[in-house]
C-alpha cells in the first residue's frame, strides 16, 4: 500500500494542487464584496414592458458582474477541467479518485503503524517521530 501511495502521489500532486488552487480562487472570487447600487441607479432601472413588480418587492434586472466576481465561471471551468476538454474532465475525475485513495491509504498506513507500535509495547501517542 505504501508503494502505491508514494508513486501515485508523485503523479497526482500537480493536479491536486491545481484543483485546490482553482477551487480556492473560485470561492474567493465569489465571496468578493459587491457594491450596492445607489438610489439613482435603482430608480433608473425599468422592469420589462407589461411586468408589474409585486408589492413590497424590489424588482431589477441582474447587474453585470465586475471585478473578481466576473472570474468565478472561468475559475470553475478550470477547477472542473472543462477548459481542457474531455481529457481535462477525465484528469479532474481521476484526481478526485486519487484524493479519496490518498485519504484512505494514509489512514490505513497510520492505523498499521499505530498497531505496530502497540504490538512492540511502545508508548501510546497520537503522533510520533
Domain layout of the chain by residue ranges: 1-32+68-129
**Rounded Cα gap, residues 10 and 97, in angstroms:** 15
Ranges of H-type helices in the chain: 2-30, 39-44, 72-80, 85-120
Instruction: Output the tens digit of pLDDT for each of the chain's 129 residues.
Output: 777 777 777 778 888 888 888 888 888 888 888 777 677 776 666 666 777 778 888 776 666 677 888 888 899 999 999 999 999 999 999 998 998 998 888 888 888 888 888 888 877 666 665
Nearest by Cα to 72 from 32, 16, 20: 32
| pTM for this model (two decimals) | 0.59
**Rounded Cα gap, residues 65 and 22, in angstroms:** 19
Three-state secondary structure call for residue 22 = helix
**Rounded Cα gap, residues 75 and 21, in angstroms:** 9
Amino acid at each position: 500500500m505504501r508503494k502505491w501511495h508514494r508513486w501515485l502521489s508523485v503523479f497526482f500532486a500537480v493536479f491536486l494542487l491545481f484543483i485546490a488552487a482553482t477551487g480556492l480562487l473560485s470561492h474567493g472570487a465569489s465571496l468578493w464584496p459587491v457594491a450596492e447600487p445607489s438610489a439613482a441607479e435603482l430608480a433608473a432601472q425599468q422592469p420589462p414592458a407589461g411586468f408589474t413588480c409585486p408589492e413590497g418587492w424590489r424588482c431589477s434586472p441582474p447587474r453585470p458582474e465586475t471585478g473578481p466576481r466576473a472570474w468565478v465561471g472561468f475559475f470553475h471551468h478550470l477547477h472542473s477541467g472543462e477548459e481542457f476538454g474531455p481529457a481535462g474532465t477525465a484528469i479532474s475525475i481521476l484526481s478526485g479518485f486519487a484524493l479519496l485513495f490518498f485519504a484512505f491509504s494514509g489512514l490505513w498506513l497510520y492505523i498499521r503503524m499505530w498497531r505496530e507500535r502497540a504490538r512492540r509495547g511502545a508508548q501510546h501517542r497520537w503522533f510520533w517521530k
